[in-house]
Amino acid sequence: MIKKFKNTLSFIDKLLSRFRRLFVNGFTAFFLLIIVIGVFSSIASLFESDEIETKDKILYLEPKGVIVDKSITRDDPFDGFEIFGGSTNQIELENILKVIDSAGKDDNLKAIYLDVDGLRAYYTSALKIADALFQAREGGKEIIAYTSGLGTTGYLLASQANEVILERDSYGSVRPFGFSRVRQYQKDFFDNIKINVNVYAAGDYKSGPEGYTRNNMSETDKLAWLEFVTPVWEKYKHKMEAGRGFESGKIQYIGDNYHLLVTENGGSENETALAIGLVDKLMSKQEIRNYLIEKYGKDDSEEEDEEEKETENEEKKDKDELEKKEYERPDGISIKEYLSTLKEEDISSKKKRAQMKNKIAVIHVEGAIVTGNIGFNTAGSGGIVKNINKARDDKNVKGIVLRVNSPGGDVYASSVITNALEEFQSTGRPVITSMGDIAASGGVWVTTTSEEIWAEETTLTGSIGVYSIIQDISPLEKWAGFNNDGVSMTKAGDIYDLSRGMNEELNKQFRQNTENFYKNFVTKVANNRNMDFSEVLKFAGGRIWRGDTALELGLVDKLGSLDDAIDSMASKLELEDYKVFSYNSEVEFDDYLSSLEDLLPIELQVFLKEFNGLKKMFLSKKDRYVVAYCFDCGFGRFE
């Protein structure tokens, strides 16, 4: 019997081994085939013209992804192969603004076709893109926006077009309802499953851990949130109303009475959007295609090619090809293609040499601050320090502009970054900070060595506070019948053993530790801002502030863009000819394999990338108890 059992196991093991070999060999062969195809495609492309024609074309402005300051590149052998979803879904703000600005002045382009259904952007970036679209339109460039449904930020952008056309049969409709902030409060849940969540928060407004300690939103959280976001909403409304030619107050009226307006229009949201002027037309995809052809025509050579193909392949056409033809649009050019036509300004060799001797490095801190490498929506301190050290070792780098777009994160990782910045500054070279959409909590911590701090008017900053969370599952274990007990050679061995539950000695230590980190944080800000500790305490406490309010409080020095901060650095260094550059951050292929969520819908990607940063903070096996993170800053809280 035992022999038969062993033989059966041996047979299964051999079968699995063969299957593994077959799978590995098959995948390797497929992988090599992909590489070979890629090599031949690259060789073939060498014989093709790189010239991209823009004359009488439509710019199809259809960005899909998340607006970032600096995209993360990756060692991707599948890039360009549709089957693997080559795009990282990152769109650099500078690039999209450059495209819109140039297209608005380009007489070669007939029009701009705008589709922002797949775009995600925070408020500051969105306002900049809206301004660029409005300027292009005011300059005489016709913009037609087409959508299957938009929320507040998407409609802000679409409303800058000459025409907004909604897909007739879409379920999404257009809903510019403003910003809301709803989160899940889990106190009762943890009580019910007998898990004690020990929260140590320093700062009355530090609302991050409230999900564990409350069943509803605190009054301090409501106050801080509303004071921050109300003026931003006013800006959004003003721009939407200006774009659509509405009287002041109409967007607010629509948001407050939308349910009544839909009822008046028979329950159809799309018909309501048309009736109240949010959109100009309702069209199917076939109708928008015909509408564009009617307005702008099709490329003559393309029509001739199509006639030849129809003659040659008339009998071979199948249903799919016929359906594809239905959606063909007037000849156009994509964002990527158009960007490739925008060449840098030609400068003399002498000027180039002068620029290479005077460089300003832009160091990006983008995403949740954690230890390790830079990744998607992750400001890895290891990678950032590596870039700072490269700048330190390059004698031609005269200064660093620290570009922060981060809700904060791990206190230790933030400290590692400031330590590297201090070492750079010890060489006599300055650091200036430029805050983007968000520079909160740990995103403020990393600015505390800067000689000068710039913020945008609508930057979300502040949140100067820290907290730590320790979950104690011992009550659940006891309830389930698991009991931990034993002996230790020292009293500390017993105190620091959380398997037997939280104890008063350890509870006191964690509380003191969090308070000490908070005092250190406030002290850093006070020293950097040349303020008394007590002055900083007044606007600390974990409270969020807008950039304009932060200027009034003295938390930042000036309001302006990244370019303004760079100009300030050049002026400080008295540089006339200089080169501005940033270090590329590459994700290795191993890390890329774990990021195949790019194949998922954009909304789910954003959630997973946000979660990725949080996971590294809270689910790491290392002892990382104290964080400076702003939970008010996620995408979902601004839709």
Predicted local distance difference test score (pLDDT) of residue 343:
75
Tokens of 181: 């902030």
Phi, psi of 434 (to 5 degrees): -120, 120
Question: By three-state DSSP, how is residue 431 classified?
Answer: strand
Predicted local distance difference test score (pLDDT) of residue 614:
47
- Angstrom distances, CA of residue 436 to CA of 67, 84, 278, 546, 549: 11, 32, 30, 11, 15
Q: Distance between CA 450 and CA 433 in Å, rounded?
A: 6
pLDDT in tens, 468-516: 899 899 999 999 999 998 999 999 988 888 888 999 999 999 999 999 9
β-pairing, 149-150 with 173-174?
parallel
Phi, psi of 64 (to 5 degrees): -130, 115
Predicted local distance difference test score (pLDDT) of residue 559:
98
Are the folds of 57-180+220-300+323-341 and 349-638 the same?
A: yes
- Going from N- to C-terminal start, the domains of the chain cover 57-180+220-300+323-341, 349-638
Tokens of 492: 């500390």
Architecture of domain 349-638: Alpha-Beta Complex (3.90)
Cβ density class 392-402: b for 16+ within 10 Å, e for less: beeeebbbbbb
Q: Which of 548, 606, 66, 561 is nearest to 362 (CA)?
A: 561
Q: Which helix (H) or strand (E) holds 36?
A: helix 2-46
The Cα angle at residue 619 between residues 516 and 480, in degrees rounded to 5: 105
Residue 637 is classified by DSSP as G
Predicted local distance difference test score (pLDDT) of residue 10:
59
Q: Distance between CA 224 and CA 432 in Å, rounded?
A: 28
Quick one: fold of 57-180+220-300+323-341? 2-enoyl-CoA Hydratase; Chain A, domain 1 (3.90.226)
Q: Which long-range contacts (CB under 8 A, 24 or more apart) does 532-539 make?
A: 536/464, 539/462, 539/464
Q: Find all residues with CB under 8 Å of 623, minimum gap 6, and list them.
A: none
Tokens of 121: 């952007």
H-state helical runs in 481-544:
491-495, 504-529, 533-539
Residue 334 identity? S
- CB contact at 8 A, 441 and 630: yes
- CB contact at 8 A, 566 and 401: yes
- CB contact at 8 A, 331 and 298: yes
Tokens of 616: 């590294």
Regions of the chain where pLDDT drops below 50: 1-6, 9, 42, 44-49, 76-87, 300-305, 309, 315, 322-326, 588-600, 602-603, 605-625, 634-639
Predicted local distance difference test score (pLDDT) of residue 89:
81
Question: By three-state DSSP, how is residue 222 classified?
Answer: helix
Q: Distance between CA 64 and CA 73 in Å, rounded?
A: 17
- CB contact at 8 A, 268 and 166: no
Q: Distance between CA 385 and CA 406 in Å, rounded?
A: 16
Question: By three-state DSSP, how is residue 301 classified?
Answer: helix
